[in-house]
Chains A and B, each alone.
Chain A
Amino acid sequence: MALKIVKGSIDRMFDKNLQDLVRGIRNHKEDEAKYISTCIDEIKQELKQDNIAVKANAVCKLTYLQMLGYDVSWAAFNIVEVMSSSKFTYKRIGYLAASQCFHESTDVIMLTTNQIRKDLSSPNQYDTGVALTGLSCFVTPDLARDLANDIMTLMSHTKPYIRKKAVLIMYKVFLKYPESLRPAFPRLKEKLEDPDPGVQSAAVNVICELARRNPKNYLSLAPLFFKLMTSSTNNWVLIKIIKLFGALTPLEPRLGKKLIEPLTNLIHSTSAMSLLYECVNTVIAVLISLSSGMPNHSASIQLCVQKLRILIEDSDQNLKYLGLLAMSKILKTHPKSVQSHKDLILQCLDDKDESIRLRALDLLYGMVSKKNLMEIVKKLMLHVDKAEGTTYRDELLTKIIDICSQSNYQYITNFEWYISILVELTRLEGTRHGHLIASQMLDVAIRVKAIRVFAVAQMATLLDNAHLMTGNVQRKGICEVLYAAAWICGEFSEHLENPMQTLEAMLRPKVATLPGHIQAVYVQNAAKLFATLLKNQEGNTDRTAAQETSQLMIDRLPLFVQSANLEVQERASCILQLVKYIQKLQQKDVEVAEEVIALFAGELNPVAPKAQKKVPVPEGLDLDAWINEPPSESESEDEQPKAIFAKEEPKHSRARHTEVDEKELAKRREARKQEQANNPFYIKASPSSQKVYQEAPGVEHIPVVQIDLSVPLKVPGLPMSDQYVKLEEERRQKERVEKKKKEKKKRKEKRGGRGKKHDSGPESEEDITPAHMVDIVTEEMPENALPSDDDDKDPNDPHKALDIDLDKPLADSEKLPVRSHRAAEALKSPAEDGDAESPASQEPKKKSSKEKREKKKDKDGDRKKSKDDKKKKKKHKREEKGEDLFGGQADEPVVQSEEISEVAAPPASNAAEVSDLDFWLSNAPVPSNAQEAATLAAEAAPVPEKASGTAPDSEPDEPEETDKKSSKHKKKKQKREKEEKEKKKKKKHHHHHHHSDGGGEESVQNGTVEEEEPLPPMSNYCLLAENSYIKMEIDIQGNLQDGSQVVVSVIFENKCDNFLKTMEFNVLDSLNSKLQRPEGSGPHDGLSVPFQLPPGVSNEARFVFTMQSIVMPQKLKGTLTFIIKNEDSSTHEKLDFKLHFTCSSYLITTPCYSDAFAKLLESGDLKCSSVRLEGVNMPFHHLLARICFHHHFSVVERIDSCASMYSRSIQGHHVCLLVKTSGQTVSIDAKCDEPTLLGNVLDEIKQTFSQC
């Protein structure tokens, strides 16, 4: 034995240690791989020895080799051996190696469970620490299940060092073993208030990570976090909490309101940029969540934008980057406030830092408008030309397309320009986005009917010059464009100028070098072209032309028939036979064109990408059921026909960008120059003026303003998008001039003088009319598409399993599994000992001590259990009280009562209810220090005090809604103070007077606390008709896309115990309004409701009505017929109803900015009307909310008890309201360009408030 040890240590002296290994590798630079392989052989020898020191040394070296990319999983068992050494030194080496190379499918992990458990309960804190660290890297579901209870015990360890590690690792345990979340959560929550800042930070970390994925389950922790936020000084913790709040606010807007004040304070006070930045970020998140309801946060937005501007202007690139990043978040909801910094952002586009350029690009996306789109894209095109490196250029390309195509091409006024941009983009070198460009071309050509003539001409040119795209290998990606070009030319071939030439271009032998799927499209569309040609040529007297065309096809198609690509070959041979037959008929002088054309008749409509998913499954159809007997296993393995088709359309996944060295780049550049020089169509920097335009024949699109066509519109070569920019400018200039003229006339007609020139400002969005009347075809969706929002959720997200309600009381079955043999000991049952599983036999001596330890632990466990039980009881109690809405927050009452007890006012008695999150949120902002507690008292006090609105002595604690005002007020105050200083102390009492004055005003503002009152629930659905069988509720909404359509959603609810089927919905059409029926059905046919109703079930169906005039409300009589089916009989029943289309239902909630609103009012086109409502007894914001909700208005601006509101009808009428309230009287002044509509809307508003 002794000899062995001596031998071992001698061996060790000759062994290489890690340093020797590293040195050796460095000395063998030429044959590193060979050297390492000999080292690995040595390591293998070392691992075979019994000496643990030698093994540990070997494992240590393996860890290093693992970093260099060598697979060391073969040594997994040895690693486990080293892990289980009793010496800390070796244990640490073992755990490190395990953490580096173990993963879920490492099988030896099974063997580690008991070892890890032993280490976790080791008296040495570092043994425990090392085990926790290692475990955090390789925890598996099994380990998590077996060790969850042990780790949970460690969360209450006496040493903070262990506590923080145990808390942190719980996150990993939750991920692998979601069932542990609920039992462990109460303790985790306790740790949020741990005395040790490290443990606290760890707990915050874990909960933030959990809450980020499933925020709604953690909303009840908001008060606790709020307290932490106002008390903690640890920036790490603050950042985490503030980030967490950012995730919570979208769920609870009231929380956001509470947050704004402390966050603003932090923004003003902190010196740490990281904290400042996160505060700004969360304020933005709050503003986003609030933007729908309350508009008046301009002060906070201004603060954010202003701070961000400082960041962006900073010389530190990091701050610049982050500033832009945050700016892009504001952009989504408050584009106006960002747009004013356009200069700054465009400047960033020229930054030398690519990250910053990319961020600036993101921002541009949201900054475009109809007015500046062309200008911005022009700038981007310049960047495209300048850009070095394909990644950035590709990014630019996608951005250009994104910017232009966003929200259904909203900002494009001239589609010819857009097509020419797309065509210009095809000249990019080595882009991998050919597919993207192609799909844009297709989309535009299909959906914008007016552009087809132009598009077809452009595509024909592209096809003609196809060799430019196919010639170079590097340009492979771009030839996708030809796919689109060929299809467009074929499908819309009737618009082709010179179809014969295009046909020839499509049948060139070179085409055969294109990828298969493109060739297939070529062949198919050549046939379409052929059909069109035949039709044109048969009209002529001379028949030879038609025969020549057929001959051309017959000559060229065989090339494709030989194609190796199945699809190409199949299509080609099919079409070839067809053409041969046609030729035969032609020789007999038979006219065939009509029949050939019929082959391709009918228009293809664009289908929404999600349409297929949304087709409702017909009742009674089980898609998972076998139609035939399932085939045997072996059969299904044999046939794999899928692969053949899958290859047809290669997926355009983002290929990893390949490295290109300098030489290669230079070579390519040279090649490009060469190519450009040889390319007659390459447009050099100076635009040549010889391109002559002529109006293409049969142009369908109607320019709104007759363009002076001295500038060419149709270019023989490729178009130059810049010319469109100029054109567009001219057009707009002209329009503006015309408008001015008109307005001048108007003004002259009205009154001679009073010349207030308000049109000199920049034109607003609405002023720009599109150059073409563009009819953008919307994508088709299946009838009765199922509305579903969660299309995009990834079903494989591991965090999904953690979406667990944490507030429900624990059930017994949910207790964490405790080690089985321990339970057996406790019960003294003869169950087999769990230790039998452990791999190594253990010395009996050790065992006894272990048992002792375990007994101790058992006690701990028991204590814990009883604690849990207590908590459970508590929870139950609360449940009985019926206020467990946000239960399970035992510590919150303390939080609140602490603050409130300082006041010792009546609310103290409410302390019990304070725990309710709702109550917490319904308070006005909690003051961050005790000084302001008085205000809290005033706010928390019961209503009467609020109503009087004169809380005395309240400190200036402005709610954020009044920020703007109060700042004004402050300025005033400062001014006054200055004045007073000048007047010296004489009027001291006067000063005092001012102050009390101010106090009085403020308390009125505090009266706005009522804003926080939750709104009563409102529903848009109102009862349509009802009998003992069925109930119908309806909601009517205007259709944004189509000015003459109104969508009626009807909820059918089955009230009886029988099955309702064959429901038919019918309405008697009036002259003005008609129910849209499917094609082919008569004007009096009913529409069948596309579902049946089992007893007690309700479902919704939608019907579309077409309206001619919308200025008057409409009433339509209708009937619902249905069959009641019970076991043995079925009866026919019907229900009559009256469908009431109010004028409000023609209005669509449209946001409007205050400046645009002001302009609208000034324009003088609107007619006035007003109405007074008496005895309206509700808070002002409720009133506004009702108008918004029931009448589809949006609040433009609100100042105190006065608000301006806006809405738009589906036919584009503007409706503006000015709502004022004083006492119980509400006066509404309204303007609209259609007086009848306005009158009716006002009547309806009156109606709404008379009902309540």
Chain B
Amino acid sequence: MIKAILIFNNHGKPRLSKFYEHYSEDTEQQIIRETFHLVSKRDENVCNFLEGGMLIGGSDYRLIYRHYATLYFVFCVDSSESELGILDLIQVFVETLDKCFENVCELDLIFHVDKVHNILAEMVMGGMVLETNMNEIITQVDSQNKMEKSEQSP
């Protein structure tokens, strides 16, 4: 199970937060801060897994993250997920964003967080991986966007 998916930038500003378990807004902010603190002090060429988030999870949970340019993509998962699998999933997520936004950059995420949520919803649902095939994800996202457009035009 995935417990949370967080995207924040190099300064810890949240760009997307998706918690699959309920926390109060304050706790969510604390978790984001703590996670940022843990992740940001790590060198570039160390491993992408780390334990020790106090607020989220427990011994069974670990943080799996990737750092792309100005953004950190962090998944908090339990032991039923494959570590390397989740790393691949993050890659798929980012590549999908890249396709949907055409050369994605932090600004896209800043101004279109709702779209990012919609894309994520096609990949992960309720903390479980729904789809890993990028083409399938893009097809579904595109046809939903088309529907949205058709609703707006008339």
Binding site for B on A (CB under 8 A): 18-19, 22-23, 26, 60, 63-64, 66-71, 87-89, 92-93, 96, 100, 103-104, 124, 126, 129-130, 132-133, 136-137, 139, 161, 164-165, 168-169, 171-172, 198, 201-202, 205-206, 208-209, 212, 235-236, 239, 243, 273-274, 277-278, 317-318, 320-322, 352-356, 358, 391, 654, 656-657, 659
Contact = CB atoms under 8 A, between A and B. Distances in A.
Contact of A89 (B28, B140, B151): B151
B47 A321 contact: yes
B130 A164 contact: yes
Contact of B152 (A89, A96, A322): A89
Given A168-B130, A356-B47, A274 B88 contact: yes
Given A126-B147, A198-B136, A103 B22 contact: yes
Interface string B111-152: 111100110010001111111110010001001100110011
Interface in B48-71: 48-52, 54
A623 B124 CA distance: 49
A64 B1 CA distance: 25
B100 interface: no
17 contacts: A60-B114, A63-B117, A64-B114, A66-B25, A89-B152, A126-B143, A136-B127, A165-B125, A171-B128, A201-B129, A205-B129, A236-B85, A236-B129, A239-B85, A318-B48, A322-B84, A353-B46
A809 to B, nearest CB: 29
Residue with the highest number of chain A CB atoms closer than 10 Å, among B16, B24, B112, B125: B125
Contacts of B125: 132-133, 136, 165, 168-169
A952 B147 CA distance: 66
B111 A654 contact: no
B54 A355 contact: no
A273 B16 CA distance: 29
Contact of A96 (B47, B50, B114): B114
B118 A92 contact: yes
Given A209-B1, A274-B84, 9 more contacts: A60-B114, A63-B117, A129-B140, A198-B131, A202-B130, A208-B80, A274-B87, A274-B88, A320-B47
A100 B16 CA distance: 11
A490 B117 CA distance: 64
Contacts of A19: 111-112
Contacts of A239: 82, 85
Contacts of A206: 128
A311 to B, nearest CB: 11
Contacts of A171: 126, 128
Interface residues of B, number: 56
Task: Summarize B's interface: helix, strand, loop or mixed.
Answer: mixed
Contact of B47 (A23, A87, A317, A391): A317
Contact of B140 (A161, A274, A659): A161
B130 A165 contact: yes
A26 B11 CA distance: 14
A906 to B, nearest CB: 42
A71 B43 CA distance: 35
Contacts of A26: 110
A654 B17 contact: no
Given A63-B114, A274-B85, A355 B126 contact: no
Contacts of A70: 25
A201 B17 CA distance: 25
B83 interface: yes
A1038 B52 CA distance: 43
B12 interface: no
Interface of B: 1, 14, 16-18, 20, 22, 24-26, 28-29, 37, 42-43, 45-52, 54, 80, 82-85, 87-88, 110-114, 117-118, 121, 125-133, 136, 140, 143-144, 147-148, 151-152
A360 to B, nearest CB: 12
A318 B144 contact: no
Contacts of B25: 66, 69-71
B84 A96 contact: no
A277 to B, nearest CB: 6
B128 A205 contact: yes
A124 B129 CA distance: 23
Nearest to A135: B126
B70 to A, nearest CB: 15
A209 B80 contact: yes
A15 to B, nearest CB: 16
Contact of A321 (B49, B110, B147, B151): B49
B117 A96 contact: yes
A281 to B, nearest CB: 9
Contact of B17 (A23, A67, A317): A67
Contacts of A129: 140
In the A-B complex, list the 3 residue pairs whose CB atoms are closest, starting with the nearest. A136-B126, A274-B84, A103-B22
B110 to A, nearest CB: 6
Contacts of A132: 125
A959 B109 CA distance: 55
Contacts of B80: 208-209, 212, 243
A69 B52 CA distance: 23
A819 B11 CA distance: 51
A243 B130 contact: no
B47 to A, nearest CB: 4
B92 to A, nearest CB: 11
A317 B46 contact: yes
A656 B151 CA distance: 50
A129 B45 CA distance: 40
A67 B16 contact: yes
B52 to A, nearest CB: 7
B17, B49, B112: which has the most chain A beta carbons within 10 Å?
Answer: B49
Nearest to A90: B151
Nearest to A655: B54
B28 to A, nearest CB: 7
Contact of B45 (A126, A202, A277, A317): A317
Given A355-B50, A391-B52, A277 B136 contact: no
Contacts of A104: 22
A169 B126 CA distance: 7
Contacts of A355: 46-47, 49-51
A137 B114 contact: no
B14 A68 contact: yes
Contacts of B143: 126
B132 to A, nearest CB: 5
Contact of B43 (A130, A168, A352): A352
A656 B54 contact: yes
A296 to B, nearest CB: 30
A93 B151 contact: no
Which of A70, A235, A236 is the most central at the interface, judged by chain B CB atoms within 10 Å of its CB?
A236
Contacts of A68: 14
A211 to B, nearest CB: 10
A137 B54 contact: no
A185 B38 CA distance: 41
B76 to A, nearest CB: 15
A271 to B, nearest CB: 13
Contacts of A654: 54
A1111 to B, nearest CB: 48
A659 B40 CA distance: 13
Given A103-B22, A273-B84, A353-B47, A168 B144 contact: no
Given A71-B25, A321-B47, A236 B132 contact: yes
A277 B54 CA distance: 27
Contacts of B85: 235-236, 239, 274
Nearest to B118: A92
Contact of B151 (A88, A139, A209): A88
A69 B29 contact: yes
Contacts of B29: 69
Contacts of B26: 69
A136 B1 CA distance: 13
Highest count of chain A CB atoms <10 Å: which of B16, B42, B46: B46
A22 B45 CA distance: 33
Contacts of B83: 274, 277, 318, 322
